[in-house]
Amino acid sequence: MSKRLYVFALVSGMLLFAGVARAQYPILDRVANKVIQKYQNSTCEQLWQKKGQPPSEREQRAIQFMRQNPDMRTYFINQVAGPIANKMFDCGMIP
């Protein structure tokens, strides 16, 4: 019985930690989802056109914020890297 209780406590603790980690940066989650949607809803032609353009002022502020907050930058990149890389691969933007 105590082994079951131990396993239950361990799994519950892991799930709780995962929920807290996920909710650590709710605004950053929304921004990451917005970026992912932008890439998923853009055509390859739109992405190629935007590739050579400088970032907007809003994007520059976000980039500067990420440079000053390495933990948040890591969190953000971990959220967006897969979907963005897949879209860029599909569009022939990365080998």
Q: pLDDT for 41-63, tens place per residue?
A: 999 999 999 888 998 998 899 89
For residue 24, the model assigns a pLDDT of 82
- Which amino acid is present at 39? Y
Q: Tell whether 45 is covered by a domain.
A: yes
Number of structural domains (the chain) is 1
Four-CA torsion 13, 18, 19, 23, nearest 10 degrees: 140
Q: Tell whether 1 is covered by a domain.
A: no
Q: Tell whether 40 is covered by a domain.
A: yes
Q: Tell whether 3 is covered by a domain.
A: no
| Residue 52 dihedral angles phi and psi, to the nearest 5° | -85, -5
The yes-or-no verdict on residue 2 having pLDDT over 60 is no
Cβ(87)–Cβ(39) below 8 Å: yes
Q: Tell whether 13 is covered by a domain.
A: no
Q: Give the structural domain span for 66.
A: 26-90
